[in-house]
Amino acid sequence: MFDDYFTLQLRFAGYYSSVTHISFAAAISSCTNLRRRLNLIGVEGENVWNNLLNFADSNSSDLAAIVDKCVYLHALYSTNSSNSAFGCFSYEPPNIEGVVRIHFLPLNQESSPLSPERIAERRCELKAMFAEIRLLQPNAKVVRGVSWLYNLNAYKRLFPAAFVTAIDEPRFPIHLNGTSTWGQVLDWRQRVKPDIEARIVSELPNMREQAPWEIFPLKALTTHCEIEKFYEHFF
């Protein structure tokens, strides 16, 4: 199912490797979300991930073989449902500055998770998540998000006005090893969007070493506001 998705990411990494003159393995680590998608995060997945990178470096001219390896590992290690207790949403506990990062990852949906008929469900998930944060994370001060989804009104309508008003272009490098940018490539069925794929492929020759994320149709945006705005919004 993810063959096309893995192929696109590996092609992207190949271009990045040629532009930056780093190894193919280093490019895969830097600008794909394969490790997260294959559920090889953390110490538990380190050996398998390193073996995949070594395989990729040794077979860099045989993209199909690397894709097959990724498909095999995905079937073996990945989970088909979100580990989050809050449906499509999850959060990172506050850092030393009290900043809570929120994430959106829809899996196993029967219809678009941002369709009008699903908005109440999404708001319930957010309400439950912030109820837990308020109870268990007293040091939380600020909510921050970084995602391509902040380009979409269907997503923005879930949040407090202060959070939406603060949406802006990031003034820091965008990480490509998560879903904040790569998420736009898949539809809600977890299938590659042909038009997005075509636009990325057409822009590969224009990739810049300093900002490879620029060739994506939708740029990841960032926003933040005081967590009290979320508490006022949901409670």
CB neighbour list of residue 197: distance below 8 Å, 6 or more residues apart: 4, 8, 185
**Tens-place pLDDT, residues 77-110:** 876 544 568 999 999 999 999 999 999 988 766 7
Residue count (the chain): 235
Residue 131 banded pLDDT, cuts 50, 70, 90: very high
Percent of the chain with pLDDT over 90: 87
Evaluate if residue 219 carries a pLDDT over 50. Answer: yes
Evaluate if residue 47 carries a pLDDT over 90. Answer: yes
Lowest-confidence pick of 68-72, 131-135, 170-174, 211-215: 170-174
pTM of model > 0.95: no
CB neighbour list of residue 54: distance below 8 Å, 6 or more residues apart: 25
Secondary element (H or E) of residue 203:
helix 194-203
State the pLDDT at residue 82. 47
Evaluate if residue 50 carries a pLDDT over 70. Answer: yes
Could you give the residue ranges of the DSSP H alpha helices within 59-145? 63-77, 119-136
Query: Cα-atom radius of gyration of the chain, to the nearest Å?
Result: 18
Percent of the chain with pLDDT over 70: 97
